[in-house]
Amino acid sequence: MSNPPIPSFLDGIGNGLGYSAVLLFVASIREILGAGSWFGITILQTATDGGWYVPNGLLLLPPSAFFIIACLS
């Protein structure tokens, strides 16, 4: 149970970066499919603006992250 400090530090950094990457990926999917935009830039033009995409409001709700993670698993 006693690990050296440097490998433990690197393990913590790796876990933090991995978790951050998953959060960014899930949030990006939710934003693009839920609102049709990403960082305020229109990716999928919505039907109200003359496009073809109808935003999925379910993906903007908090439980949708669980649905996305379940689909990725």
SS3 letters across 7-56: HHHHHHHHHHHHHHHHHHHHHHHHHHHHHCEECCEECCCEHHHCCCECCC
pLDDT band at 2 (very low <50, low <70, confident <90, very high): confident
CB neighbours of residue 36 within 10 Å: 20
Q: What is the mean pLDDT of the chain?
A: 94
Q: What's the token pair of residue 51?
A: 């496009």
The DSSP secondary-structure symbol of 60 reads G
27-55 per-position pLDDT tens digit: 999 999 999 999 999 999 999 999 999 99
4-23 mean pLDDT = 96
What are the φ/ψ torsions at residue 56 (nearest 5 degrees)? -95, 100
